[in-house]
Amino acid sequence: MDGIADMGGTPGWGSMYPPRQDEPVFKESWEGRAFALAILANRVSGGNLDSFRHALERLDRAHYIDDGYYGRWLNAGELRLIDSAILAPGAIDARARNLRGEHVEEPPIPEPAKPDYAPTAEGSLRSIDAAPVFAVGERVRSKDMSPAGHTRLPHYARGHVGVVDIIQPAAVLPDTNAHFLGENPQYVYSVRFDSRDLWGADAEPFELTIELFESYLETAS
């Protein structure tokens, strides 16, 4: 899906800057707790890395940007708990209001909806019998598609032509894994694009390499 997380190539976000060498991992103590709670929430809800990323991309602007990086993680963790019916929508807000002494009724917890999911192996790399469809040096086009669910195909690359630099090992396909529809492992390709092909002749000239799953690509005529 094309959510707030797909920010690459969109204007208005300011310039990139290198991280400070002395920058702490957590600037405030709550950030470390939010990070841990997000990981725990995704685990107890029966999720995986891709389902968590899908939760992140479903957040609105306020929850994704205005709440900051670790606020974003905490919001995604809450959404995973709601997805699995461990929490009811609005439960966190009700509990926060009760802590402030407002005495509101917490919404009832719905029927459990935790996914029946278990990975076939550790990590995301998998072995498959099929040979890669594309070869190193081949010109390929990333498909111009707008999936309703999760995908790792960035919006700015869709419909553009690049060159395969490296064939990576097969890995679990995020598009299906995020929705617990199977791992569907396939090869991943490092595809090199010209920045001016992606963003026009006025773009700063450089080459950008993107890791793309096999089903994202087609042969460029």
Average pLDDT score over the chain? 93
Closest by CA to 155, choosing from 144, 163, 166, is 144
pLDDT of residue 12: 73
Q: Are residues 84 and 151 in the same domain?
A: no
pLDDT at 70 over 90: yes
3-state secondary structure string across 136-198: CCCEEEECCCCCCCCCCCCHHHCCCEEEEEEEEEEECCHHHHCCCCCCCCEEEEEEEEEHHHH
Q: Are residues 13 and 111 in the same domain?
A: yes
Cβ atoms 181, 158 nearer than 8 A:
no
pLDDT at 177 over 90: yes
The pLDDT-based confidence of 154 (bands split at 50, 70, 90) is: very high
Q: Are residues 99 and 150 in the same domain?
A: no
| CB-based contacts of 155, cutoff 8 Å, min separation 6 | 2, 6, 8, 9
pLDDT at 3 over 90: no
Residue 179, in any domain of the structure = yes
Q: CATH no. for residue 150? A: 2.30.30.50
Q: Are residues 97 and 154 in the same domain?
A: no
Q: Are residues 2 and 110 in the same domain?
A: yes
Residue 30, in any domain of the structure = yes
Residue 20, in any domain of the structure = yes
Q: Are residues 5 and 94 in the same domain?
A: yes
pLDDT at 162 over 90: yes
* Domain membership of residue 7 as a residue range: 1-116
* Gyration radius from the chain CA atoms: 20
